């Protein structure tokens, strides 16, 4: 094999891998979000799971990509392990589609239609048409369709280049000697594993084997163990992807490896037992691309059929290999933000939404516990609020970085508006948590210094606490359910909170003059009022951003422009909240 042949072979492998990657990426962009949402809605039906895994892999041309996607859903808590295993089985079947497509190169017929189906005929046409469309198309969907065509064409051009470089090897004694060694099943399996690990794709390594079959030197006895080894080697990519994920994700990888190894053992025993007792008539017959593709499909299909009834057993084995570990709330919640989802923004943003919901729930809990401490000090409440604050701080950092990565995907339309809203809102939730921590600081200071509020101050503060609590509840409800009708309540309520704070500060000054409140107690009281007012402001911010996104407005509008302060509805809600929260305070003054 001269230098020119080696360069041709390397160039062919490069084009083959690039064509496969381009086609897979274009297909995933074209239909990836829909496929992942289908995976998310997956039921416990094993048959449907297998079909779904096979279908997704057939489209994106990579079982590793599908399994990595499943690992992401497991890590995010979207799928259960028992749902994921059939999908993984199906993915291993779906990966054989590439080899079945490549068998078209074996077509050899004078019929014009069959001639056009040969890769040498349609590959250049795919590249020319696809490249032309990519240059002139303005819509992303059209470019993705063209990318599929270009990728398919480049893939077959690379295959033809590999074939042309391998053909001279048919007369090479050294080449034949190498493959005679590979008739040893163990060496054949190891060779298949090595090539797959090197190329990071079982589809690609099987494609290389199909190209080498053009030499006529590869027999079934050589090809079978190599193909089996290729199916084991693909697990390495998935194994690397599972590093740093949760226990269920690592268990899924363990199951994939277990299935591949058991399938390899079963096939090797069956093949060599049959050959030793009866014998295959085609054992030493050269194989073509079609036979390699068929054996590749047969291995994965039979392995799936054997393993499918034993899903629970595979899960039990994986649990013994991957032990339970204690996971903190922070790690458990933030595991939803898996980097795997970033390239599919709609799914990544949905994961962000779930984390934001958890932030909202955490803030609600912190507010309830911290304000209770203002009236009756409880150490347990303080400890829980601090734990929640750690979660909110870490979440703001991680979620902010994750959202930046998502926005780098050149978002448009609803995804862009949603990401922008999240980036604004995550800070507001974290600030509310900070104000709850300030309540804890006040409560602990009062407890240490023996400071207490007057009965009048406590009575007034209870009304303010309820008003701000209602603002938080309305905000969380509107945010989680995306109810625009609920957001309209925040503006009038926030105005009343501001008014209440002014009244309570004025009353506080009056109590100081009358000697009903100490100076130290007064400082703590004003600190509470200021933090209450700031919480209602953040509720207003969150509701404003939600309202603007739902109406597709810019995030620079003022509150009056968003909530129409001069409307009859706004005035009526303002009067309603005045009667509920402010009038009782005024009556007390009288």
Residues of the chain with pLDDT > 70, as a percent, come to 78
Q: In the predicted model, what is the mean pLDDT of residues 434-438?
A: 94
Q: Which CATH code fits 327-450?
A: 1.20.58.220
Range 416-424 average pLDDT = 87
User: Domain ranges in the chain?
Assistant: 3-319, 327-450, 452-590
Confidence of residue 128 (pLDDT cuts 50, 70, 90): confident
The pLDDT of residue 470 is 92
Percent of the chain with pLDDT over 90: 15
Asked whether residue 454 carries a pLDDT value surpassing 50, the answer given is yes
pLDDT recorded at residue 588: 56
Burial class (CB in 10 A: 0-12, 13-18, 19+), 2: exposed
What pLDDT, in 10s, does the model give residues 273-317? 998 898 888 888 888 888 888 898 899 899 989 988 888 888 888
Secondary structure letter of residue 119 according to DSSP: H
Is pLDDT above 70 for 369? yes
pLDDT, mean of residues 188-201: 79
Rounded to whole angstroms, how far apart are CA atoms 185 and 206? Answer: 17
Residue 560 reports pLDDT greater than 50: no
Q: Decide which of 234 and 331 is more confident.
A: 234
Q: Name, in order, each residue with C-beta under 8 angstroms of 531's C-beta and a sequence gap of 6 or more.
A: 435, 438, 439
Mean pLDDT within 218-242: 82
Confidence (pTM): 0.59
The dihedral sign for the CA sequence 110, 114, 118, 123: positive
pLDDT at 368: 94
pLDDT reading at 590 higher than 50? no
Structure tokens at 337: 């933000």
Which pLDDT belongs to residue 434?
Answer: 94
**Higher per-residue pLDDT: 50 or 211:** 50
CA-to-CA distance for 251 and 243, rounded, in angstroms?
Answer: 11
β-bridge mates for residue 216, sequence order: none
pLDDT at residue 270, rounded to an integer? 92
Going by C-alpha positions, the residue among 26, 33, 29, 38 that lies closest to residue 347 is 33
Report the distance separating Cα 253 and Cα 137, nearest Å. Answer: 40
Question: Looking at the domain that runs over 452-590, which CATH code has it been given?
Answer: 1.20.58.220
Phi-psi domain of 52 (left: phi exceeds 0; alpha: psi -120 through 50; beta: other): alpha
Q: Which of 21, 50, 41 is nearest to 259 (CA)?
A: 50
Q: Mean pLDDT highest for which of 126-140, 156-170, 281-295, 430-444?
A: 430-444
Query: Would you say the CATH fold of 452-590 matches that of 327-450?
Result: yes
Two tokens, residue 582: 């402010």
Average pLDDT over residues 123-150: 80
- Residue pair 15/157 in contact (Cβ under 8 Å)? The answer is yes
Residue 146 pLDDT greater than 50, yes or no = yes
């Amino acid at each position: 094999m001269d230098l020119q042949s080696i360069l041709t072979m390397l160039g062919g492998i490069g084009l083959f891998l690039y064509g496969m990657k381009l086609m897979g990426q274009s297909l995933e962009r074209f239909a990836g979000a829909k496929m992942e949402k289908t995976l998310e809605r997956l039921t416990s039906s094993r048959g449907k799971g297998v079909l779904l895994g096979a279908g997704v892999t057939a489209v994106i041309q990579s079982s590793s990509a599908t399994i990595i996607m499943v690992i992401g859903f497991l890590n995010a808590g979207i799928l259960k392990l028992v749902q994921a295993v059939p999908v993984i089985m199906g993915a291993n079947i779906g990966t054989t589609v590439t080899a079945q497509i490549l068998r078209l190169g074996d077509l050899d017929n004078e019929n014009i239609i069959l001639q056009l189906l040969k890769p040498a005929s349609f590959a250049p046409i795919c590249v020319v048409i696809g490249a032309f469309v990519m240059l002139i198309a303005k819509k992303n969907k059209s470019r993705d369709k063209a990318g599929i065509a270009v990728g398919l064409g480049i893939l077959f051009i690379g295959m033809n280049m590999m074939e042309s470089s391998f053909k001279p090897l048919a007369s090479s004694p050294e080449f034949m000697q190498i493959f005679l060694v590979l008739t040893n099943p163990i060496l054949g399996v190891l060779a298949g594993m090595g090539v797959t690990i090197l190329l990071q794709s079982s589809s690609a390594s099987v494609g290389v084997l199909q190209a080498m079959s053009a030499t006529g030197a590869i027999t079934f006895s050589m090809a079978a163990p190599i193909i089996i080894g290729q199916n084991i080697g693909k697990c390495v990519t998935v194994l690397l992807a599972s590093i740093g994920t949760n226990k269920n994700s690592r268990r899924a990888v363990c199951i994939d490896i277990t299935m591949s190894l058991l399938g390899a053992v079963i096939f090797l025993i069956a093949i060599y037992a049959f050959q030793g007792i009866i014998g295959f008539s085609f054992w030493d017959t050269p194989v073509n691309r079609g036979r390699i593709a068929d054996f590749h499909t047969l291995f994965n299909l039979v392995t799936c059929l054997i393993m499918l009834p034993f899903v629970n057993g595979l899960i039990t084995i994986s649990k013994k290999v991957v032990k339970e570990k204690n996971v903190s709330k922070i790690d458990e919640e933030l595991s939803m933000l898996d980097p795997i989802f970033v390239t599919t923004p709609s799914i990544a943003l949905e994961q962000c939404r779930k984390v934001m919901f958890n932030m909202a729930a955490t803030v609600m809990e912190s507010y309830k516990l911290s304000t209770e401490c203002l009236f009756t000090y409880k150490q347990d409440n303080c400890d829980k609020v601090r734990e929640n604050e750690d979660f909110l701080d870490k979440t703001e950092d991680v979620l902010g970085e994750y959202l930046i990565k998502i926005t780098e995907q050149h978002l448009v339309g609803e995804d862009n508006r949603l990401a922008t809203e999240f980036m604004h809102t995550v800070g507001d939730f974290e600030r509310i948590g900070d104000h709850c921590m300030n309540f804890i600081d006040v409560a602990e200071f009062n407890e240490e210094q023996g400071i207490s509020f007057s009965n009048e101050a406590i009575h007034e503060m209870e009304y303010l606490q309820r008003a701000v609590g209602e603002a938080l509840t309305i905000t969380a409800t509107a945010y989680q359910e995306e109810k625009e009708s609920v957001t309209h309540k925040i503006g009038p309520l926030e105005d009343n909170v501001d008014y209440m704070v002014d009244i309570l500060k004025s009353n506080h000054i009056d109590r100081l003059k009358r000697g009903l409140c100490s100076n130290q107690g007064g400082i703590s009281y004003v600190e509470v009022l200021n933090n209450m007012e700031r919480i209602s402001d953040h509720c207003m911010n969150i509701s404003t951003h939600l309202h603007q996104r739902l109406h597709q407005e810019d995030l620079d509008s003022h509150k009056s422009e968003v909530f129409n302060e001069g409307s009859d509805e706004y005035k009526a809600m303002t009067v309603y909240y005045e009667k509920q929260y402010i009038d009782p305070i005024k009556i007390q003054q009288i």
